[in-house]
Amino acid sequence: MFLIVGLDGATVDLVEPWARQGLLPNLASLMERGAWGRLQAPMPPVTFPSWTTFMTGVNPGRHGIFDFTRRVDDSYAVRFVNSSFRKAPTLWRMLSDAGKRVCSLGIPGNYPPEPVNGYTLSGFDTPVTVRADASFAFPPSLADDVEAVGGFPFADFQEFTIDEGWHRRALDSMRDAIARKTDLALRLMEREAFDCFMLLFGESDTASHHFWSLHDPDSPRYDAALAESVGDGIRETYIELDRALGRLMESAQPSQVMIVSDHGFGGVGDRAVHLNRWLEANGYLRWRDRSPWSRLAGAARGAALRMIPERWQAPLFRLRGGRIADAVESGVRFGGIDWQNTRVFSEELNYNPALWLNVRGREPGGTVDPADYDALCGELRDALLDWKDPTCGRPVVRRVWRRDELFSGDYVGYAPDLVLELEMIDGYSYMCLPSRGESGASVEKLAPSSLGGGKLAGMSGSHRRDGIFVLSGEGVEAGRYRGATMADLAPTVMALLGFAAVDGQFDGVPLACLEAREAAPAVGATAWNSDGESYYDEDQEKALQSRLERLGYF
């Protein structure tokens, strides 16, 4: 068996020292016997495009997934994406077509679940969800196994209001989730033999988002009293994950093991940027006169996520084919913009700072002549690189990419026009916060009372581009490896399982740490794409809406 364990958001910066100290003995053993190193994610390092690149071996410009959402054609609206938006075949599809038995559990970007020769359990592929149900499983009978181990949680606790005792409750919940996910994997492994088996843990990501300020004494957000009370929740979570890895390896006795993360992590500082306020101040954007829509939409979303029980959040966001979630999210991102007097705008996503040009013929209220597109991109790049933080005098933006500098393929048009990499202050990243349709400072130093927020309020850890990979077992030369990218891993798995690639099939290449071996004939596959997005049918929607009305939510 080829065993793949995903550690979402895991970083070399934590794994290497902790493995050396003996805190992660199973990871340390794999690193000693195999190849390992930094793993470069697509830019920006976002969960959906990165894991989709892992599954397909191609860049987002070919697989079509750039974010959790996608702009609707000829509109300023956004639509939450799912696996039916993916335009390239996955590793699981290719191996299934070659007659291999596969299992993938918990990988984001895989809802609705892909039919394969084996099992698929989707990840958190709706705007909010806390556990897998039958709609996440292929075949549907897999849901019985999920139920038998007590569920397959996705951050099975609220992450929006951080009150007294929250951190310890969150750690207890994550420890329980790691055990249940491991139990499910062991249950399936004991039932039958697999050629390739993957289990993904999201707890390393969740812990890093929320606990960085307790892990890092140098963080501007460090809370010494809370850290002494709670301890290092990130280290505690990594230790639990290492124990789970040991259980999996003992049961599977795999011929090869791959550990992979979709991006790395680091700390967030005490400064925030508002890209749309900067655009307004520089004459690229104008607000409508005091429109309350964005503020109301944001408040409604935050209130819903805090007040509605977790078990109802995912079904609620699926209502009416997902259009309720789409409309609220669109209002939060774009409410208040005067499109007829705006040339450039941003979605102001904290994890994905980027700019869109308001192009005539592409956007419904476009103001930028397509002939001026290149010149405006160049002007923006120069202005952004010259932008200084008034609180410290340092540059705000480190690098600006045009989308065709990062991506290639038929779907580059789904990407923002300009992708930004923000600078760091003493190793800590800026937060990118929404302007809410209001003028004001484009950079602000946050008050201490604002530094302990949960989701939607700014967390203490954020994504970095470099994650980690470890590859150990038959056919792998040991040693530290440099230059690995996310797109290299699908062809690497295929090569270790004996398959060559069709010309042009992958953007990545098998890692050079593989020993030479004779390859079987190349295996291609067609893209798996459903006939449409899979949501509840009309009767299910009516029943759920009626239930929510009785509960007082509608």
Q: How far apart are CA 19 and CA 29, in angstroms?
A: 9
303-345: pLDDT as tens digits = 555 555 555 555 555 555 555 555 555 555 676 899 999 999 9
**For residue 546, what pLDDT is reported?**
47
pLDDT for residue 107:
95
In this prediction, residue 293 carries a pLDDT of 54
Segment 133-151 shows an average pLDDT of 90
Q: Spell out the SS3 assignment of 118-163.
A: EEEEECCCCCCCCECCHHHEECCCHHHHHHHCCCCECCCCCCCCCC
> Does the pLDDT of residue 393 top 80, yes or no?
yes
Cis status, amide bond into 89, omega within 30 of 0: no
Sign of the CA dihedral with 168 first, then 352, 310, and 142 last:
negative
What is the pLDDT at residue 351? 86
Q: Distance between CA atoms of 436 and 291, rounded to whole angstroms?
A: 10
The pair of structure tokens assigned to 284 is: 């690229």
Q: What is the pLDDT of residue 479?
A: 94
- Predicted confidence at residue 165, as pLDDT, reads 81
d(CA 175, CA 170): 9
Q: Are 220 and 208 in contact (CB under 8 A)?
A: no
- Which percentage of the chain shows pLDDT scores above 90? 64
Q: Beta strands 35-40 and 484-485: pairing type?
A: parallel
Bond prior to 44 in cis (omega within 30° of 0): yes
Q: Is the pLDDT of residue 396 over 90?
A: yes
What pLDDT, on a 0 to 100 scale, did the predictor assign at position 544? 35
Rama region for 255: left / alpha / beta (φ>0; ψ in -120 to 50; rest): alpha
Residue 94 reports pLDDT greater than 80:
yes
What is the predicted pLDDT for the residue at 338? 95
Q: Is 373 helix (H, G, I), strand (E, B) or coil?
A: helix
* CB contact at 8 A, 272 and 55: no
pLDDT digits (tens, 9 = 90+) for 187-209: 999 999 999 999 999 999 999 99
Across residues 413-419, what is the average pLDDT?
97
Strand partners, 444: 272
Amino acid making up residue 122: S
pLDDT tens readout for residues 144-182: 999 999 988 876 655 556 667 888 898 999 999 999 999
Token pair belonging to 216: 């890092």
Write a three-state SS string for 9-40. Answer: CCCHHHHHHHHHCCCCHHHHHHHHHCEEEEEE
- In which band, very low, low, confident or very high, does the pLDDT at 458 lie, cut at 50, 70 and 90? low
In the structure, what pLDDT confidence band is assigned to residue 40 with cuts at 50, 70 and 90?
very high
What integer pLDDT is reported at residue 459 of this predicted model? 78
Peptide bond into 112 cis (omega under 30): yes
pTM of model > 0.75: yes
Fill in the DSSP letter of residue 343: S
Q: Which two tokens stand for residue 57?
A: 């071996």
Distance CA 289, CA 287 (A): 6
CA 334/CA 344 separation, integer angstroms: 12
Provide the pLDDT for residue 159. Answer: 54
Residue 213's alpha-carbon distances to 23, 24, 453, in angstroms, are 21, 22, 11
| Rounded Cα distance, 17 and 238, in Å | 12
- The DSSP annotation for 229-273 comes to HH--HHHHHHHHHHHHHHHHHHHH--SEEEEE-S-EEEEEEEEEE
Dump the DSSP string for 505-543.
S-SS---TTBPP---B-----PPP--SS-----HHHHHH
Query: In angstroms, rounded to a whole number, what is the distance separating the alpha carbons of residues 380 and 420?
Result: 11
How many residues are there in the chain? 554
Mind listing the pLDDT tens digit for each residue in 469-487?
A: 999 999 999 999 999 999 9
Mind listing the pLDDT tens digit for each residue in 417-442?
999 999 999 999 998 888 888 899 99
Q: Residue 107 is inside which H or E element, if any?
A: strand 102-107
From the list 200, 324, 183, 336, the residue with the least C-alpha distance to 274 is 336
Q: How far is it, in rounded angstroms, from Cα 464 to Cα 134?
A: 34
**At which residue do the structure tokens 């639990």 appear?**
240
pLDDT at 307: 53
Please name every residue paired with 514 in a beta bridge, in sequence order, or none if there are none: 476
Among 8-17, 383-392, 542-551, the minimum mean pLDDT is found in 542-551
Beta bridge partners of 122: 107
pLDDT given for residue 79 in this prediction: 80
Q: Average of pLDDT values for 279-294?
A: 81
Which residue ranges make up each domain of the chain?
Answer: 2-265+464-515, 268-460
Q: What are the residues whose beta carbons fall under 8 Å from the beta carbon of 406, sequence distance 6 or more? A: 42, 43, 59, 61, 415, 419
Residue 535 CA to residue 532 CA, distance in Å, equals 9
DSSP 101: -
pLDDT (mean) for 53-75? 93
* Rounded Cα distance, 34 and 22, in Å: 17
pLDDT class for 535, splitting at 50, 70, 90? very low
Q: Specify the CATH number of the domain 2-265+464-515.
A: 3.40.720.10
What mean pLDDT value characterizes the chain?
A: 86
Residue the block writes with tokens 């995903």: 6
Decide which of 103 and 221 is more confident: 103
